[in-house]
Amino acid sequence: MLAGPYATMLLADLGADVTKIEPAGGEISRTVGDSYFASLNRNKSSVCLDLNSPNGQQRLGALAAKSHALLVNLKPSAIRRLGLTYDTLRRYNDKIVCVAVTGFGLNGGDDPAFDYVVQAGVGTAALTGDPDGPPTLPGYSSADNSTGMCAALGLLAKIVSGSGGQVDVSLRDVMFSQLNYHAAAYLNDGTEPQRRPYGAHSYYVPAQLFPTADGYLALFITHDGFWKSFATEAGVDGFETMTQRVTRRDEVLAVVTAALAADTAASWERRLRPLGVPAAAVRTLPEALQATAEVVVLAGDMRLVGSPIHVAGYQPEYRPPPRLQA
């Protein structure tokens, strides 16, 4: 529903000719809503194939013969049963790249694997939320989106290699990769990740959300130069080095919290950004979109967020998502 379509939409935005293969009646995400489907399937064409039939398999072979790649987002048993692997399709085109996007790997079985389930299973949910509250999931499909990006990268890397073959990308592996420094700290130093109030960073202090006189401010001090600029503006003394700030975390956070309470989040952002200090008032998505109109594009009559990849000399032509066709 999301990881595979997002991967191929990114490629389509970059100029790839993407044909979406759908079953009779259309892919399931069409039933979620027009805006949902458009957000993942602009710039594509579509064809309905019954891959369980000889005719559908014949038409699949014809597509494979003239394509650089096939990307599939199904469970492993379905991918094999429908002949959507390199081993099966190489007879039509030995240069084709076949990408399998699954929950746990092409050889990892068919256990249910949706975004939130995988995030719960790899430790992301346990790391998110208030320490005294329940585990929390982010409000968007971070595992699916991240996996889609990795799938697109793997597809392009294999094409660039000049040889066909199988690429295997799983939600589980991608999310473990997203937890990179937390995993490394545990595997090498025995440091178990922990939730901190206001989403505080494990290594940098202060780097988290702070309440202000009105709203919340994200402040991300990653080196002593940032701290010096912030401390001067906020009227805070001491804690000149990151080592001191990490060692005396609670004291630093108390001082910073008290200083930030004297002004609003929006005002602090206006004061700190010209100084080069990473800071942003917490906004809702509607507020952020209204303040950043340049990220919105028109695809047919759909207003969508445009491609995040900007290539010099290339401007995507945003077309609406495909209508369902036989």
Residues labelled catalytic: 144
How far does CA 169 lie from the centroid of its chain? 14
Dihedral sign for Cα 116, 119, 123, 127, please. Answer: negative
What is the distance between the alpha carbons of residues 242 and 223, in angstroms, rounded to a whole number? Answer: 7
- For the chain, what is the radius of gyration of the CA atoms? 24
Q: How many CB atoms lie within 10 A of CB 4?
A: 25
Contact partners, residue 69, CB within 8 Å, separation at least 6:
96, 97, 98, 99, 155, 158, 159
What is the distance between the alpha carbons of residues 325 and 116, in angstroms, rounded to a whole number? Answer: 32
Cis peptide bond upstream of 206, omega within 30: yes
What is the distance between the alpha carbons of residues 138 and 276, in angstroms, rounded to a whole number? Answer: 28
Contact partners, residue 62, CB within 8 Å, separation at least 6:
92
Q: What is the three-class DSSP state of 292?
A: coil
Q: What is the three-class DSSP state of 298?
A: strand
Phi, psi of 155, deg, nearest 5: -60, -50
**Is residue 258 within 8 Å of 310, Cβ to Cβ?**
no
What is the distance between the alpha carbons of residues 260 and 267, in angstroms, rounded to a whole number? Answer: 10
Which CA distances in Å does 193 have to 126, 178, 196? Answer: 9, 14, 10
What angle separates helix 265-272 from helix 224-234, to the nearest 10 degrees? 120
